[in-house]
Structures are given as C-alpha cells and as structure tokens.
Homo-oligomer: A and B are copies of this chain.
Amino acid sequence: MNFKIQKKMKNSLGRAGVLETIHGLIETPAFVAVGTKATVKSLNPEQIKDVGTQVVLGNTYHLYLQPGDEVVRDAGGIGKFMNWQGPTMTDSGGFQVFSLGVAYGKDISKITKITDPSLMIPERFDDSDAPRLAKIGQDGVSFKSHLDGSIHYITPEKSIQIQHNLGADIIFAFDECTSPVEDLKYQEEALARTHAWARRCLVEHHKLGSDQALFGIVQGGRDKNLRQKSSKVISSMNFDGFGIGGSFAKEDMSSAVKWVNEILPEEKPRHLLGIGEPEDLFMGIENGVDLFDCVLPTRLGRNGTIYTKHGKIIITNAKYRNDFEPIEKDCGCYTCQNYSHAYVAHLFHGKEMLAGTLASIHNLYFIVNLVKKIRQSILDDNFFEYKKGFLGTYLKKD
C-alpha cells in the first residue's frame, strides 16, 4: 500500500491524496461504502460503482458468523465473493464488542446525543443493566451470536486470522470501542487493552504473512490526555495507517479528531470509523481525516429518508405523492435521472424492494460525491467557501 499527499490545506490539518491498494487507487478524502455482510444493502456492485464508490468495507463480526470467514476465503476473498473488483476493507469487530456489550439495548451508537444528565453517571459496574451479548476480558472478548446464541471468543489474534481469511486490502487491529459516558478509570483500562491488543495484532499479522495493509485504531474516549496518549502509542507501532475509533458525543468529535491527527504521522492515511453525516465529513476532512465509512446513506435510504442539498426529506410525506420532478433536478444519480418523487414515494408506500434500492443509490451518490467535491475544494484552495456554501443550504431550517 502506498499513500501520497497531493495537496495540504493552509492553516488546517486537511489534505487531499491518493491511496494505492492492491485492487486500485482511492482518491482521498473518500467515503467508504459499508457492505456489512459482503453486500451494500439493496445494491449490486455495478450500482455501488456507478454512484462513485471507490472502496467497500465489510464487517468482520458479521462475516465471521455468516457465512463464516472460511467460506469467504474459499470463495477467493470478500471482493471476489461479492463481485466487487475495487479496493476492500474489513473492520476488526471492535465496534461490535461495544454495540453488543455496554451499548446493547441502549440508545448509544457511533454518535450519542448526551441530553440526559443521568447518562453521564458512570454505569459500567452496574450489572443490573440490560443484558449484554459480549463480555470483555484482558485476553479478548466472548460474544453471544445474535443469530443463534452460540458463544464465540475473539482475541486480537483471532480477529487478524479472520481478517486474513476475509482477504480485504485494508484490515484493522482489534480494539475496544468505549462509550462516551464511561468514567476516566474505565477509559484508561480499556485503552491499555486496546494498545496491548494492537501489538498482538501486528505480531499475528506478520506471523501469518500477507500483503494486506493493517491499520491501528486510536481510542481514548473524550479525554484529551488519553486521545493524545493513544495517538502516540499507536503511531509508534508499525501500522500502515490508522483508524480513529470511538462512540462520540457530537460536540466532542471535532476536538477528539484534532487531538489525534495533530499527533498521527502525516504520511499515513487516517480513517474516522463509522462517521458520518455531511457536517461530520467537513469537520473530519478539515481536521486531517482521509477516509470515512458510515451505514447512514443506505440505512436512511431504506427507511425513506433522503439527502438533498436542502437537508434530509422524508419521501413518504403526502406532498410527494403528486410530485413528478426528480428528487434533485441537478443530481446526476441514476434515481434522479430516471424517476420522480411520486414514483419513489409510491414504491415506499407499496413496500416495494426497489424503493430501498433507488433511495440508497441517491443517498450513497450524494455522500460519496459530497466527499469528492470537498476533495476538489482542497485542490482548488476553496474548502472553506465550499463548506460555508454547502452547509449554509444543507443545515438551514425552513
């Protein structure tokens, strides 16, 4: 893997570059399409490519359980299995530790809006909580499969073995993603685990041998000292690039990303894991992020929530039933080129499968191409103008 920076922003950490992988180039900043189970939900690879996607990310946890990483290996790896010829990534399963563990059954995700003060009370040691499907030890994590209840034990070594079987171009070290509501003591303990696991992942990766690139993941929650410490520790290891992990309170995210990217070595690529919304993409890029992935374009699309430059719309609203204009007249996506609000709305009302496909195509096109336009604005030295213009329209309340 090779990473070249083409242009750096003045007075900020942002940059545009090109990441060379075994399966092709990725122009960065880039938005990575999420294909959890070796499929970007409701889209085929031609549709994924047509919207401008450069790289697809599968989820290690999901593919390990179904169809099994050995099936994917025997199929020739995730790309060949799903018929995607471009670059691929797999995450490490660390986020699933979080979402099946401490976050299970709660309203905590990649971005948590901390409005309820009671949420800020450390609750790690209260075992009367909602049931958890994952338990974290020093050596690894025991999972209960969400599919059949079977018990699995994932160590850093196991995560790397699985990811070698999945065969993506870029893989990630096994980490522990913590909740923003954890106390400092727990964050410190978790971070020590993440760092120890990172070392073990590197050892296993080199032991197995592979031309896959391995990214280490920086954690540290919302604490500046821990984020800085993690950046230094993970930077000191021989990773090919870095992930920035965590479940963020939205207001914490930009400072956390900045703390980290001020320390991470400039010459290696950085991936902000599981983010984001348009405003998060501008924030991340301004603060030196090269790669993003997020389920939102397809998840929102399947639910009938559609990105437009004037903000998100709910396509099932009554006013769209008789609207024969495309969702966005000047949008170049397949959906806007061929269908009306009324048709897409009809498909949602009729619970037709094509509904999710058409909405996902538009949403993924919207986000992938937003990142491409932001990239171009860096090359053109007008990032801040572009940001102001886009967000001024996008975030404006009617």
Chain A positions near chain B (C-beta within 8 angstroms): 37-39, 41-45, 62, 66-67, 71, 74-76, 81-83, 321-322, 324, 338-340, 342-343, 345-347, 349-350, 352-354, 356-358
Contact = CB atoms under 8 A, between A and B. Distances in A.
Contacts of A353: 41-42, 353, 356-357
Contact of A340 (B43, B75, B322, B340): B75
A44 B343 contact: no
Contact of A343 (B81, B345, B347): B81
B346 A66 contact: yes
A343 B66 contact: no
Contact of A83 (B39, B322, B339): B339
Given A44-B354, A66-B349, A353-B356, A343 B37 contact: no
A59 to B, nearest CB: 11
Contacts of A350: 37, 39, 62, 66-67
A342 B67 contact: yes
Q: How many copies does the complex hold?
A: 2
Given A44-B354, A76-B324, 12 more contacts: A37-B350, A41-B354, A42-B354, A43-B354, A44-B358, A62-B350, A67-B349, A67-B350, A71-B321, A71-B322, A81-B343, A353-B353
Contacts of A81: 340, 342-343, 346
A340 B77 CA distance: 13
Contacts of A37: 346-347, 350, 352
